[in-house]
Amino acid sequence: MTYRFIADVACGFDNADEDDCVMAGVAESDGGGFSLTFMCDFDEPDAQEVSLGFDTHCLVTPDQGTAYGCVREVTIAGDVLRVVLDPASLAALNLEDPVVEAVLRAPAADVARFREVLSRVLAFGRSEARPAVAGL
């Protein structure tokens, strides 16, 4: 069954002078609840990152569930973000279903920034780990 939540918060950070990484996220609220945080490095992966499989996007869920290269599809249609995950990543992400939908209720400017930065995160790293993307 698809996990669905209302995202009252959306953000995108990609300033190399201020941020540790490129990050786009949506969350139920500023103080907690369910969230999806998509991240990648600013620089192309080095040899060690490639050998460890860290040469792609990263997804973090609440309680620090983390997986690299796990996003298979991302679609934004209207105000709904739909994320399809590799079923093999569910245990690492502490999720039960490979489909997560967020109804985007955050301010329009924040959603626009999220979309902009998310497209950059999902295009990072090795090509075979890049998800299918629509509506960004």
pTM: 0.94
Judging by DSSP bridges, how do beta strands 71-77 and 32-40 pair with one another? Answer: unpaired
Q: Count of domains in the chain?
A: 1
Q: Which residue has the higher pLDDT, 43 or 2?
A: 2
Convert the pLDDT of each residue in 37-53 to its tens digit: 999 999 877 777 777 77
Convert the pLDDT of each residue in 68-115 to its tens digit: 999 999 999 999 999 999 999 999 999 999 999 999 999 999 999 999
Q: What is the CA radius of gyration of the chain?
A: 14
What percent of the chain has a predicted confidence (pLDDT) above 90?
Answer: 78
Name the nearest CA neighbour of 32 among 59, 61, 4, 58: 61
Q: Residues 112-127: what's their mean pLDDT?
A: 95
Domain range for 27: 3-134
End-to-end alpha carbon distance in the chain? 24
